[in-house]
Chain A
Amino acid sequence: MQINRTGVGLIALFALLGLAMCLGPALLGADAETSLIVGSTGAIFVLVAGGLAWYARHARAKAARQDWIFENGIKGSATILEVGNSHTTVNEMPLIKLRIDLDIPGVGHTEVTRREVMPVFTANRMSEGLVLPAYANPENPAEFVLVW
């Protein structure tokens, strides 16, 4: 997953609106009860912005790690053994459970499971027997990137 312009806009909107709601009533001289209610709502907005920003940063770090594995890893193949739908969706994208036979040269075959959030058109193509490229970390072959 990666953040897009809409995501950046949402984070900025929640953060600015939240801060305005936290500070605005006090600065405008509102009474304590109003300040508390509006300020609490503002705090929730700031927390949401913080959560989204944390997730975006986590996704960016994960992407950087995957890029490193792609550039420095051992290229192998991943044969899909089983595709399971978790019936969970994230932003209209299904969370797919894959059971994979990972074949990395010099390491051999390993059966692993992987959960991936994929667009619908990608999830539709995941089927038993499909062979996808995979790159494994040479220092830790259990860490791998599945190319889909």
Chain B
Amino acid sequence: MADLDATFSSFAAERGLEPVPGLALGALTPLLVESKHCQVSPAARGRLAGEVDGIVGHLAYTRNRAFRFNVALVEVPASTALVPRLFCIRSGRSTRDDEFYGFEARHSKLWTESTGLNQRFVISVSPFQDPNWMRQLFSPALIDYLATKPPADFSFELAYGALLGSVEDDDPGADGLAALCEATAHVATRIARECEE
């Protein structure tokens, strides 16, 4: 834990972020809901990358076994009206190890022509989405970016304007946090731009 605190402190200092011991983010996305108190600790807030502000923190919880994620949370408020829920989760990732339910809230699996993207991620959206808009969002440039550039375990959840990028790692180091923030900011910028159009 001391190493993790040091990682976040040095990362915050490097990037000019405000370090905070812990923050309760609220039940904004499915991953945050897994953790009872939705709390990240340690954490830092400020400009994550580019023009994107947000919070980066360490999310740890136990559901039969310990799960440790590093997450970056940014807001894309305009997305709520266009794509309320969009989940792009690394294939094979599990976020719980105790209870599995046979029925879940309805969602649609998003189909893309990219083999690389389909191998790496499971992408789902809320039902009743405009397919043309989704095709524009998942442009060849975004597909290529997601399939090749982000950290290996990177996943993101967009739910009602809250975008949570995450990687599962005990201590990713300052470089790992930087890569997480860059990837989350890139996705946030792309979604925000498409919402404006």
Q: Give A contacts to B, CB under 8 Å.
A: 1-4, 6-11, 52, 55-56, 59, 63, 66-67, 70, 90-93, 117-122, 124-125, 133, 135, 145, 147-148
Main secondary structure of the interface of B (DSSP, over half): loop
Q: Is the CB of A3 within 8 A of B103?
A: yes
B26 interface residue (CB < 8 Å to A): yes
B15 interface residue (CB < 8 Å to A): no
Q: Give B contacts to A, CB under 8 Å.
A: 26-30, 32-33, 81, 84-85, 99-107, 126-128, 159-160
Q: Is the CB of A125 within 8 A of B160?
A: yes
A3 to B103, CA, bound (A): 4
Instruction: Report chain A residues within 8 Å CB of B105.
Output: 1-2, 93, 117-119, 122
Q: Nearest A residue to B84 by beta-carbon distance? A: A148
Instruction: Report chain A residues within 8 Å CB of B106.
Output: 1-2, 59, 63
Q: Nearest B residue to A91 by beta-carbon distance? A: B101
Q: Is the CB of A121 within 8 A of B33?
A: yes
Task: Enumerate the 4 nearest inter-chain pairs by beta-carbon distance, A residue then B residue, closest first.
Answer: A7-B102, A91-B101, A125-B160, A6-B100
Instruction: Report chain A residues within 8 Å CB of B104.
Output: 1-2, 4, 91
Q: Nearest B residue to A70 by beta-carbon distance? A: B128
**What are 17 A-to-B residue pairs whose CB atoms are below 8 Å?**
A1-B105, A4-B102, A4-B104, A6-B102, A7-B103, A91-B104, A92-B101, A119-B105, A121-B27, A121-B32, A121-B33, A124-B26, A124-B27, A133-B81, A135-B128, A145-B128, A148-B84
